[in-house]
Amino acid sequence: MTRTTALTEVTDETFAEEVLNSDVPVLVDFTADWCPPCKMVAPVLADIAAEREGALKVVSLDVDSNPRAQAAYGVMSMPTLMVFRDGEPVRSVVGARPKARLLKDFEDVL
């Protein structure tokens, strides 16, 4: 079943509170409105967010509106998906991918 739950949006101002200070791992989707692969991966991330609710937080950050977080983590391509644990980035992947592959890429850090 595909869920269409929108991801929580974070900004440069809320990044520390929502991501760095989270009690659970956070998967950050560095995204942009002009990015077709970003639109393709959004429903996959919404599914993961719904399935792992409580154990994993999934958020999106628009890089055009929030350049500080993008620059702080060296994000150059969209979408970049980065998992944070205890306030530190522990793994990142670039590009849209199917749900099964994305979960496999992150299985040891989620």
Known catalytic residues? Answer: 35, 38
Alpha carbon of residue 105 to chain centroid: 13
Closest by CA position to 108, among listed 86, 91, 87: 91
Instruction: Identify which of 74, 63, 57 has the alpha carbon closest to the alpha carbon of residue 20.
Output: 57
For the chain, the C-alpha Rg in angstroms (whole number) is 12
